[in-house]
Chains A and B, each alone.
Chain A
Amino acid sequence: MEILLNLPNFILNLFTFTTVLIILSGVFLGILLGALPGFGSAQSLAILFPLTFVMSTSDSLIFLLAVYSAAEYGGSIPAILIKTPGTPANAISILDGYTMAQKGEPKRALQVSLISGVFGGLTSTLIFIVSGTTLAYFGLKFGPGEMFALGIFGLSIIGTFFGKNIAKGFFATGLGLLLATVGTSGFGGMRFVFDQAYLMDGIPLVVIVIGLLACPEAFKLLVDSKNEKKVDKKNFFQKLDKGFRLSFIKRLIPTWIRCSLLGTLIGAIPGAGAAIGSMIAYTQERKWSKLSDKFGTGIDEGIAAPETANNSVVAGTLIPTLALGIPGSGAAAILIGLMISKGVVPGPFLFVDEKNLISLIFGGLIVTNLFLLCIGFFATNLFAKVTSISKKRLGCFVMILIIIGTYSYSNYGAHVLMALILGFLGYIFMKVNIPPIPIVLGFVMSPIIEQNLNRALTIHNGDLTIVLFRPITLTILFLAFLTILYGVTTRR
């Protein structure tokens, strides 16, 4: 309640020169990177992560949240204009978005996508304020044993639902968990260091994030696209295309409300993500809408449904991320990593100890969505041009940004080398459908799970049975087992 009461003040406090500049640049860069095919929100956050090294905790969080929200919208631009989705989450927008664009109304398609996304973002932020606080209240009653079980539950969802093959999903999750154990343990012992000085402090998150998410994309842009033909510079917009009209609002409001709720709910499930959110929203809206037979022919509802859900997922993902410390997506894992690196521990206590930070995040999300609306609306032409950029040329800048960004972390060449090796591994993994995001998620969750397990064992004198057989812990672990069983028995 206190957070809600303080919210107007925090929103007003965000309008300082520095914060406005940070949000504006976050939104601008987010749309720009999100509009590049292959660059999802996680990849966009990964490449911009080094820019947060010198920022304060609040500024860096606001910046990355702005990038996250904007990148989700940015992905719809190439989907609508050139039938190439920026991320899997925007793939479904091709059906109506691209069709509408082909009919001569690309501006309308992009603006429907933008306004739907902003509506989804704002609604889900409001839901996040209420549900995040409630979830954290329940989380406060959890002991380390329950938090450990919750972490295992999160991992079970991540391994089961990321990727097409459950064995590949869990293989990647295990790899992430293992990478996090390298270095000094919480009690001063060395683990998997092999007498190498550069491994003593462990592998930094920035190396994992850049190496596994940004580097494979850079390799793909530079190497796989090297035979790409010259890109035609098209003028997408025609004078007859009047864009979004106010009369659309009344018609689209039911779609927006339904899909915002759906998107937030799906976002709150760890591992589900924006791709599933937009897909389910489109399918459900097709059933609920009066125009169900016209879906796929280029109607506003067909764009509004997935794009509203897609952006609602952002705040939805933050619910378990902040309230329980379980990241729901790759982007959320980066946000958690950022918080930990700045000395803030995500979890239920965040809502008690760091109320100002939570209010700032809420306020930041609201202001980000308002800025996204303004920038997206008036710079549609500019962002449309991004789709014409040659991939192989773009790759050159991504590659140098990766090197400079990784090196900036601690001016240490070994980190760049580690990122490159992980990048090559990620590139090969990408080719054989081993998902890289569970590695990042596992890496972020590993210390959280280990600390809670150790704490629980220390409290119970090392008796694992007492830790595991507490009623709530057992229920959560049983749910984790059911999740894996579902994944094993359902061949997707």
Chain B
Amino acid sequence: MIKINSKKIVLFISLFFLIFLIFLFYETTNMSKSILPGYPGDAFFPRLILIFSIFWTSILLIQNLVKNFLLFKSVEDKETDIEIYFKDIAFLFFISIIYILFLDFIGFEILTFSFLFVLLVNRLDLNLGKSIFYSSLISFISMIIFWFVFIIFLKIPFSLKFLPFLLY
């Protein structure tokens, strides 16, 4: 867990987006020109949005850079220390990517079961044996429910290894 001041995060976000928006503005020069009379070209609307966004991102940046810059700022928008669990979020990203990458090879059934099992096993507040048993059971039942809803009922073509795609 990392504790970061909210002001620092907003400062980072606004600075990052400001640079990114300026880069995108430059990118609009590569967009196709108008061939129709009256049509302003593909870059016209994105440029309007970019000018608008650059203005408000700059305000956000100034709000956090300049002390006592109260313009556009709410009284309730106070500075706080924010806890961000980067490791846990990275783990969620990791297992989600594994799920997507191996879906075609391993199949919906095993991957859905494993995904739920991995998440549930530490969250049941039971001793290890019971936790493994109950998380396996819950994961299996949930996988069957998801299979029924998404594959049998909604007919979404997931890669299946042993469950049928149609019930009849």
Contact = CB atoms under 8 A, between A and B. Distances in A.
Contacts, number: 196
Interface stretch (A222-230, A293-301, A357-365, A475-483): A222-230
A168 B76 CA distance: 13
A432 B142 contact: no
Contacts of A429: 13
A492 B76 contact: yes
B10 interface: yes
A308 B142 CA distance: 36
Contacts of B46: 178, 181, 191-192
B19 interface: no
B125 A226 contact: no
A352 interface: no
Contact of B38 (A188, A408, A458): A458
B92 A399 contact: yes
Interface string A429-456: 1011110000000000010011001100
Contact of A420 (B50, B96, B101, B142): B96
Given A171-B57, A187-B36, A396-B116, A178 B123 contact: no
B140 interface: no
A403 B96 contact: yes
A400 B92 contact: no
Given A54-B156, A413-B100, A427-B89, A461 B123 contact: no
B88 A222 contact: yes
Contacts of A167: 56, 59-60, 63, 72-73
B9 interface: yes
A226 B84 CA distance: 12
Contact of A408 (B27, B53, B156): B156
Nearest to A194: B27
Contact of A416 (B28, B72, B85, B96): B96
Q: Please classify how large the interface on chain B is, using the bins under 10, 10 to 19, 20 to 34, 35 or more.
A: 35 or more
Interface in B137-160: 142, 146, 149-150, 154-158
Contact of B53 (A171, A191, A396, A403): A171
B24 A192 contact: yes
Contacts of B34: 187
B132 to A, nearest CB: 15
A112 B103 CA distance: 48
Nearest to A442: B49
Given A404-B146, A488-B71, A417 B155 contact: no
Interface string B1-25: 0000010011001100100010010
B39 A187 contact: yes
Contacts of A175: 17, 53
Contacts of A450: 45
A397 B24 contact: no
B73 A226 contact: no
A453 B14 CA distance: 29
A31 to B, nearest CB: 18
A388 interface: no
Contacts of B72: 165-167, 487-488
Interface residues of A, number: 70
Interface in A325-355: none
B124 interface: yes
A407 B100 contact: yes
Contacts of A226: 85, 88, 123
B74 A390 contact: no
A184 to B, nearest CB: 9
B112 interface: yes
Given A171-B57, A431-B82, A417 B31 contact: no
A491 B31 CA distance: 40
A105 to B, nearest CB: 32
Contact of A458 (B36, B76, B89, B101): B36
A413 B102 CA distance: 10
A210 to B, nearest CB: 12
A168 B60 contact: yes
Nearest to A179: B49
Interface in A388-408: 390, 392-393, 395-397, 399-401, 403-404, 407-408
A470 interface: no
Contacts of A188: 32
A6 interface: no
A174 interface: yes
A220 to B, nearest CB: 10
A177 B49 CA distance: 7
16 contacts: A53-B154, A164-B77, A167-B72, A170-B52, A171-B17, A177-B53, A178-B24, A190-B32, A222-B119, A223-B88, A407-B100, A431-B6, A454-B39, A457-B40, A462-B39, A491-B73
Given A178-B49, A223-B89, 19 more contacts: A165-B73, A171-B60, A185-B31, A190-B31, A191-B31, A192-B27, A222-B92, A400-B112, A420-B97, A424-B89, A429-B13, A431-B6, A431-B9, A431-B82, A457-B39, A458-B36, A458-B37, A461-B38, A488-B72
Interface of A: 51, 53-54, 159, 164-168, 170-171, 174-175, 177-178, 181, 185, 187-192, 219, 222-224, 226, 230, 390, 392-393, 395-397, 399-401, 403-404, 407-408, 411, 413, 416-417, 420, 424, 427-429, 431-434, 446, 449-450, 453-454, 457-462, 487-488, 491-492
